[in-house]
Every structure is written in structure tokens, then in C-alpha cells.
Chains A and B, each alone.
Chain A
Amino acid sequence: MAKLNAAAAAKIEEICARYTDEKTPLMMILSDIQNEYGYIPLEVQELVSQKTGISVAEIYGVVTFYSFFSLEPKGKYVIGCCLGTACYVKGAQNVIDKFSELLKIKPGETSEDGLFTLDALRCIGACGIAPAVSINGKVYPKVEVGQVAGIIDSYRKEAAV
């Protein structure tokens, strides 16, 4: 098992300490770690277990249950294609297929260069602007298949700078 570096361990201990007053803090701790690092590997779960007294098995169960928690690191840009019903009936499947084809990854995977992760999202509530794509929080409205290559390029350029 890989060892956590001291800084990361200290950060995770600090996150656990934020919620010592809470009765059942696990979800909050995991959310904070996910937001901070983008994933929650096993060694982090072990540390959380030591700090909270919750068994690693239980923590692993929770991490793998919720789609927001990830065991693997995500790409620099997380592309979330909304596949809610409103987006779906307006052609969102074609949009995500195009991202998948151009990035050569399936939904849920990260590209080899670590730049992009492609996610299929359940409704993000932006049905008025369907189909919607959210990239690192920025929402693209009414995305058409023809725009996909341009969107990817703009992030490749941004990353190259």
C-alpha cells in the first residue's frame, strides 16, 4: 500500500477534525476529500477510518455506492454530459457519443493524457437549455454534435498554455 505524503495526511486529518461535533460525519468528510483531491483512494479511506473509528469496509461501501465519490483520479477537465430526459429527447446521446468518439474514452473513463474525464450526468436541472454539457462547472447550453470538436480543442489549447 502506497504511503500518503505528510502534507496530504495532515490535510485529511484536518478535514476529519472539521466534523468532530457531528453525529454521523462520514458523508461530509468524504465530500470534502473528493472536492479537495478529486478521488478517495484506499490509503485515504484507512486514514479516515483511524480518525473516525468507522471501519474501512463501511467507508469503502459508502465510497463505492455514491457516483460522486471516485476511487481513481479524474482528469483535469471533467466533461459532464447531461443525460436527463429533457436533454435525452433533444439528442444528448449523440453529443456524449461524439465526445466519446473524439476523446477515445467511454463515459466514466479518463483519457490517457489525464486531461479529460467523460461523465454521463443525471439531470443537472438545466432543462431549459437542453442538451446541456457541464465542464468543470461551466455549463454549455444547447450543445450540438458539430460543436463538440471545438469545445474539446478549446480545452486542449487552454491546457497547453
Chain B
Amino acid sequence: MTKITSVADLEQCSSTCTKCLEDKLKGMDDKRHIVLCGGTGCLSSNSKEIMAKFEEVLAAKGLSDKATVNQVGCFGFCSQGPFVKIYPEDTLYRMVSIDDVEEIVDTDIAGGQIVERLLYVDPASQEKVTKQEDINFYKKQRRVALHGCGVINPEDINEALGMGAFQGLKKALSMTQQEVIDEVLASGLRGRGGGGFPTGRKWQFALNVEADQKYVVCNGDEGDPGAFMDRSILEGNPLGVIEGMMIAGYAFGASEGYFYVRAEYPIAVNRLKIAIAQAREIGLLGDNILGTGFKFDCHIRLGAGAFVCGEETALLNSIEGKRGMPRPRPPFPAIKGLWQKPTCVNNVETLACVPYILREGAGKFAEVGTEKSKGTKVFALGGKVNNVGLVEIPMGTTLRELIYDIGGGIPNGKKFKAIQTGGPSGGCLTEEFLDEPIDFDNLVQKGSMMGSGGAIVMDEDNCMVDVAKFYMEFICDESCGKCSPCRIGTKRILEVLTKITEGKGTMEDLDTLEELSKTIKTNSLCALGQTASNPVNSTLKHFRDEYIAHIVDKKCPAHVCKSLMQYKIDKDKCIGCGMCARNCPAGCITQTDYLPEGHKLASYEIDADKCVKCGLCMSNCKLKAITKE
């Protein structure tokens, strides 16, 4: 690898790499290029083995010089993985298995024909779609933070350079520190981790403080259960985040950066390590970067499984080798942060947007979005929705567009019930809010929040009291214990919710919940506690009737709460095959004397007192004669 020591070197290297990447994507090098998704979802569906199989089959057929095989970052459309894409035609195959490899090589690589059966089928029109850009899931998306993800090989700095890496930094280094901050302020970029604080203002605070050492910290402690955008960005284009961190460092005068990444993300950590090593080797991290005298280096720190470490002051304590408990603010980290030095803590996605702003200009970034929330936001769309995956959409897109146009609606003809945004700090929004535009302030006003971008869709089979209890269990577990409103209050809420889901609740409990919520919200030390009661508040507000059904009717309308539901066999539908009884772990299913008309065997019944409600009988019954009541 040749060193890049000046702006001219970078220019030359970038143009070579850009040409190389374009040749690859457009097939100018007379080769076919097979790329596979290397995100966590696809890797767990054997994408690595599929990649090895491609190499093996190509070699066996003497095609190794005609086609290359590479892995790229997350394609985002996780529910349809693993993906295989063929350049230059841009053909996208989905749900590929090892057994399909030979056919793809024979038919497509050697034969030049498309393997029709592996194409994505649009659920609405039933038509097969060949190219990624024509799939509805991708049509409304716009990639800023996810720039390069799913296109470049994240373990090869040359491909990143071919996609414009370090052009933003180059621009920044030609400006004054204040000019860089002004540009970021003009773009309207706000913290993507959920807080929504203007990034430029944070940097300004840190710039205004005199200190011998300052730090940039990248918050990659993505703890919101159901969110994986930071993971995918780090896995798909780690250099983009490093570049963002360097620009931040230049803007307020930090020469060192720390990545704090969850230990649950081994692939992201590994790619980040590779990217840092490559950037150091090529001279883009270290002293005198691009010959401008700017000095910067970065390091990785791993989390150890504590949700509260996503809170910036707790995160700083964790890097300092302490228990991850929040510090009282002020002083804010921008004044006294890591090791008491001025520190800006920015989220992964925020930093990933920064190179784009510098490269393309603040105006371009602010082209999309709403008045107070500019740019795009990445959402991890999950739960009961057809197209599960990662989507980057302009701020202001409506919830309906997100769930139905991009997400493809609710599977199995079920009815939409709620969308939960913002994770354990957020809330649930119902059907009446579907046409609300998504941005920082609007969702807060409606009783939820955008948060870091988790968006979990729930259908009629989800019990909202149970969901509130789920989040409260999470918060109880993760509360660091430092302040009593959060430590004791969340435990009390959980007790009340448990009581209600067991059918032992009273109407007074609802008042207790509201009172506890208020106390925790106003008296907790950090954002974890201050927002802890949001899931309870929003479900109480929008689904009060479900709480009442649990309390008064002793029924769980969604048949989720085990104490309030039972399994029943429809004695006339049952053909007496005995599948349920043989598989019942509690031995509570027995044959009756009742012989339905036209059947050869007597039907079965469940002893409700002995039943452990595992649901195995229902999943084993081929006739669907077993139902929940």
C-alpha cells in the first residue's frame, strides 16, 4: 500500500480507486462480480459458506478468472437474506442457499441467463423483480448514513476510497475550525442517538474550551432492543464513521478518538479494527494527515453488556474502567468529559452523516427533511411487518409509508395494532397516527419518540400490557441503581404490571402506575430513568381498554398473558389423531368418548388445570382444531 501524505496523493489514489470500482460495477473489466451480504443476519444464514462454495465451484469449472467473489456490508433487507448480487447486470438473488450456488454459476455466470426462481417476488403484484432499485422496499430510501453499505467491501480501504472516502475530511482540512462547525450547524444535523441535540452546537461548546487534550467519542453502544443501524453502518462502511470522527476532531481540536462498541457486535468490531489498521498504514490516521499538520488517531473500547452505558456520561465512566453509572450534569462532557477533558460524544449514525455534509455541502444534506429535522434517518424496521430490515428515509416520511410502502404491510392478513418507536424510552403509536410525519419533535409531541431508530410493528396478536411489562423488565434489569426513583420506581411498576397480567389487578392499580410514572420521570438522574415510564404511559393512554380487559374481565384480548388464556380443542374438528397428546409435555391431553359425526376416532380434550400453556399442541395440530381463548 502506498502512503497518502498529501492532498495530491489522495486525489490520485481516489481517482484510481473510483475508476477501479466503477469498472467493477459497470463490467468494464470484462469480469463478472459476485457480491454477498456480510451483515450479521445473512452471516447467520450461512453467507460465508455460500461465498466459499462460489469460490470452489468457480475454480472447479475453470471460471476463476472470469468472476470474482466478495462480501459487502448489509443490504438492509434482512428478512429476504442471504443476498447474492451479480455485477455489472445488477441482478439481485435473495434467500440463496448453498445448494443454489452451482445453478447460479452454470446459468448466470457461464450461461448469461437469470435464475428466475431466486428473484424477489413483489407480494402485491406477484411480479419478479431483477434489480435492487426496482424493489419497493428500496424505492423511497435515500442513502446518506448508509453510503457505501452493501456496495463496497468494508475490509478494503481502496473500495471505500473509490466511493469518496476522506473527500469530506479533505474539504474540512481546507477550512477553519469555525467554518467546519458552521457548515455542520447549517446542515441542521441533530444527534441520531435519540437526543436530537444539534451536533454543531455540541462541537462549538468543546471548541470554546481551552484544554491541552480533547476527545471525540463515538457512541456505538446501541442498546435499544430491536435496533441495529449502528451495527450495520460499522459493518458496512466503517471508514465513513472514522472519517466523521476525524472531522469532528479537527472541528473542535481533538487529536484522539474512542469508539465504544457493544461486545455483542463482534463483526462490527472486527471490521472497525481492520479499517483503523488500514487507515494507519496508508497514513490517513496518525501525524500530519494529508500534509496539513492535523494529527489524529483512534482506539476501540468494548462494552460489557450494560444498556445504561449508551447514556453518554455512563459511557465515559465505562471507558475509564468504572461501573457504568451516569454522572450528574453539569458539567457537560463538552466541558469535562473523558478523564476530565472536553469531550464530544456522538452517535455512530451522526458521525456517518458528517463526511456527506462536508463532501456534498450542508445545503444538499438539508434538501430533505422537515423544518426542524433535516436529512435522513435510518430505521430498523422489525416485528410484525413483511419486509424486516434497515431503511434510510428522509425525515418527514409518514409512518404509513414506512410500514406499508417500504415495510410491505402486516404479514398473514393480520391487523396493524401499534408501532413502537424509540425502544424502552419511547412509546407506542396507534393507527390514528399513521399519517404523521416522522421527525424528532413530532413524535415526541405525539407521545413517543424517534429515539435511535428502532421501529417495531405490532399486530393484533400482541398484548400491549405484556409489551409494557416487557420494557419494564428490561429497564428494571438495566437500571444502574444509582438513584432511587429509577431503581425502586421501575421495580414497583413492574410488580403492578405483573399483577395485572396475572389477572390480579384492580382499577386503583392504573392510578398507581400513573403516579409512579410521574415520580420516576421528574426525579431520575439520567435519561434512562426520565424516559423509563414512557412505554407504560403511552400504552395506558392508547390502550387503556386492554388494561381494563385484564383487570375487570380477567381476559387478555390478544391471548398472550398465560394466566388469562387457555387452549381448547374444538371437539367436532378434532379427528382424534393424538398428535397433541403425544407431544404434550404436561400429559394433560386425553381422549374423550365423544365421536364426532363422520370421524373414525374420538376427539381429545385438554385438562386446563394441568396445562402449562406451552402451545406445543396448537403448533402440532395439522387441522387447526386447537385455539386460544
Q: Mark B283-326, 1 if CB is under 8 A from A, else 0.
A: 00000000000000000011111110000000000111111100
A127 B226 Cβ-Cβ under 8 A: yes
Known A27-B301, A97-B614; judge A124-B40 contact (CB<8 A). yes
Which of the residues B44, B322, B474 comes within 8 Å of A122, measured between beta carbons?
B474
CB of A132 closer than 8 Å to a CB of B: yes
Least Cβ–Cβ distance between B614 and chain A, in angstroms: 7
CB of A53 closer than 8 Å to a CB of B: no
CB of B112 closer than 8 Å to a CB of A: no
B388 A125 Cβ-Cβ under 8 A: no
B228 A101 Cβ-Cβ under 8 A: no
Interface pick from B327-335, B454-462, B521-529 = B454-462
CA distance A50 to B266 in the complex (A): 31
Which of the residues B222, B322, B471 comes within 8 Å of A125, measured between beta carbons?
B222
B225 A66 Cβ-Cβ under 8 A: no
CA distance A132 to B41 in the complex (A): 10
Q: Mark A49-91, 1 if CB is under 8 A from B, else 0.
A: 0000010001001100111110000000000000111101110
Q: Which residue of A lies closest to B389 (CB)?
A: A128
CB of B427 closer than 8 Å to a CB of A: no
A68 B456 Cβ-Cβ under 8 A: no
Interface centre among A25, A30, A85 (most CB of B within 10 A): A85
CA distance A10 to B24 in the complex (A): 51
Which of the residues B223, B458, B616 comes within 8 Å of A89, measured between beta carbons?
B458
Least Cβ–Cβ distance between B470 and chain A, in angstroms: 6
Which of the residues A31, A89, A130, A141 comes within 8 Å of B45, measured between beta carbons?
A141
CA distance A123 to B224 in the complex (A): 7
Chain A neighbourhood of B222, CB < 8 A: 125
Known A27-B319, A65-B323, A101-B585; judge A145-B614 contact (CB<8 A). yes
CA distance A112 to B267 in the complex (A): 32
Q: Which residue of A lies closest to B262 (CB)?
A: A125
B619 A62 Cβ-Cβ under 8 A: no
Chain B neighbourhood of A129, CB < 8 A: 41, 44-45, 78-79, 81
Least Cβ–Cβ distance between B138 and chain A, in angstroms: 15
Q: Which residue of A lies closest to B423 (CB)?
A: A85
Q: Which residues 240-260 in B have Cβ within 8 Å of A in the complex?
A: none
Which of the residues B43, B225, B302, B423 comes within 8 Å of A27, measured between beta carbons?
B302
Least Cβ–Cβ distance between A56 and chain B, in angstroms: 14
Q: Which residue of A lies closest to B381 (CB)?
A: A127
CA distance A38 to B227 in the complex (A): 28
Count of inter-chain pairs, beta carbons less than 8 A: 155
CB of A8 closer than 8 Å to a CB of B: no
CB of B380 closer than 8 Å to a CB of A: yes
Which of the residues B44, B322, B474 comes within 8 Å of A139, measured between beta carbons?
B44
Which of the residues A27, A122, A126, A146 comes within 8 Å of B321, measured between beta carbons?
A27
Q: Which residue of A lies closest to B81 (CB)?
A: A128
A27 B304 Cβ-Cβ under 8 A: yes
B226 A123 Cβ-Cβ under 8 A: yes
Q: Mark A22-58, 1 if CB is under 8 A from B, else 0.
A: 0111111011001000000000000000000010001
Chain A neighbourhood of B480, CB < 8 A: 65
Chain B neighbourhood of A69, CB < 8 A: 304
CA distance A140 to B40 in the complex (A): 11
Least Cβ–Cβ distance between A108 and chain B, in angstroms: 11
CA distance A49 to B384 in the complex (A): 49
B615 A84 Cβ-Cβ under 8 A: no
CB of A94 closer than 8 Å to a CB of B: yes
B306 A66 Cβ-Cβ under 8 A: yes
CB of A144 closer than 8 Å to a CB of B: yes
CB of A121 closer than 8 Å to a CB of B: yes
Least Cβ–Cβ distance between B419 and chain A, in angstroms: 11
CA distance A88 to B471 in the complex (A): 10
CB of B108 closer than 8 Å to a CB of A: no
CB of A106 closer than 8 Å to a CB of B: no
Interface centre among A26, A65, A67 (most CB of B within 10 A): A65
16 contacts between A and B (CB under 8 A): A24-B322, A26-B321, A27-B301, A28-B301, A66-B303, A84-B226, A89-B467, A101-B614, A122-B474, A123-B228, A124-B264, A125-B40, A126-B41, A127-B226, A129-B79, A145-B615
A-B CB proximity, top 4 nearest: A128-B78, A139-B44, A26-B321, A84-B225
Contacts A67-B305, A129-B45 known; 12 new A-B pairs at CB < 8 A: A31-B263, A31-B302, A61-B323, A85-B471, A86-B226, A123-B223, A126-B40, A126-B44, A126-B78, A126-B228, A128-B79, A144-B619
